[in-house]
Amino acid sequence: MFCRNCGVELVGYSDSCPNCRLKQPPSRMTYFVSVLLVLVLGIGLGLISMFAYDFYTTSEPVISTQVSEWKEINKESVTFAVPKFIEEREAPRHLPEVIAEAQHCVYTVRTYREQGSGFLYNEDGIIVTNAHVVAGMENATIITQNENEYEGEIIGFSERFDVAIIRVKEFEGREPFPIDVEEEYMTGEEIVALGSPSGVQNTATVGHITNTNRNLTINRYEYEDLYEISAKISKGSSGGPLLSQKNEKFIAINAAKSLADPSIGYSIPLYKIESLITEMIENEA
């Protein structure tokens, strides 16, 4: 290769003439090498890109699968059991439904002297009522809500507390409505007084416990720790049960009404007389 200016032969790969110092254009070999290098670099980068793409695209499902498997394996560890009290909890029933069921166990109690009410206490055919309803009697007529009449034997009677029990053989094996003989209920409790005022069966009056621990003496009977209630108790309702709306249980025996204010009634808490009733039953047996 010769210098294009002075014609001196150029030796090596110098980019200028050693004689005139004129800068020479790149040779063909230089162009060829440059192009070759560009091609090699391009191919290399392309191959690297392909390998990288294949690597990441094939690895991603594996990661996803591993995460999915981990979730399945650890699913039990993040799942908690529903508390038993929530599982068994039932929605409260409508009050008319509760009353209708309770009234199957509420009866009219009648003697030739008096008429009152009573309710089934246990599966042995025992009915609880007020002592003043059956005072001086050995037997009483028990009338169901279907107006069927049964003969009942008075087997227990308190001279001091206004409580009596009657046995009706035909009622043995009958299931009573739930009864609460343990809990003391507070002021504000929503209640229903059930009974047969003036012989009218299936009567229910709604109200609240307006006070507790009331003490009264009526004739020869002593009443201690009574529930004062706003549900009206009329003549003939004595001996009927007091129903807790919330707990759907009989909780007391309706006993008397206020002479000063007939809208106020009084009921004997079952938790106060449960031991007396049990004693009378055991003594009869």
Asked if 158 is an active-site residue, the reply is no
Q: Per-residue pLDDT averaged across 119-140, rounded?
A: 96
Helix boundaries (H) for the chain: 28-73, 75-78, 84-87, 95-102, 131-134, 270-284
Selecting among 117, 158, 162, 244, the annotated active-site residue is 162
Counted residue by residue, the chain has a size of: 285
pLDDT digits (tens, 9 = 90+) for 33-44: 677 777 777 787
For position 202, what pLDDT does the model report? 78
CB 253 within 8 A of CB 128: yes
Averaging pLDDT over each range in 68-72, 81-85, 118-122, which range is the top one?
118-122
Instruction: Report the SS3 class of residue 43.
Output: helix
Task: Give tens-digit pLDDT for 4-58.
Answer: 666 556 555 556 666 666 665 656 666 666 777 777 777 877 777 776 666 655 5
Amino acid type, 11: V
Above 50 in pLDDT, residue 172?
Answer: yes
CA dihedral 203, 206, 212, 214 (to 10 degrees): -40
Residue 202 CA, chain-centre distance (Å), reads: 30
Domain edges within the chain: 1-73, 98-284
Query: How far apart, in whole angstroms, are the C-alpha atoms of residue 116 and residue 222?
Result: 19
Closest residue by Cα to residue 265 from 212, 241, 229, 237: 229
> Could you give the CA distance from residue 174 to residue 121 in angstroms, rounded to a whole number?
10
Q: Give pLDDT, residue 72.
A: 56
Candidate list 196, 238, 244, 267, residue with the active-site label: 238
Entry pTM:
0.68
The pLDDT of residue 85 is above 80:
no
Structure tokens at 267: 């009921």
Contact partners, residue 55, CB within 8 Å, separation at least 6? none
Answer yes or no: 238 catalytic. Answer: yes
Phi, psi of 214 (to 5 degrees): -85, 135
CATH class held by domain 98-284: mainly beta
Contact 183, 227 (CB under 8 A): no
To the query of whether residue 244 is one of the catalytic residues in this protein, the response is no
Single out the catalytic residue among 117, 132, 158, 244: 132
Query: b/e map of 74-112 (b: 16 or more CB within 10 Å)?
Result: eeeeeeeeeeeeeeeeeeeeeeeebbeebbbbbbbbbbe
Ramachandran region, residue 251 (left: φ > 0; alpha: ψ -120 to 50; beta: rest): alpha
Give the C-alpha separation, 225 to 272, whole Å: 8
Closest to 25 in 3D by CA, of 47, 5, 51: 5
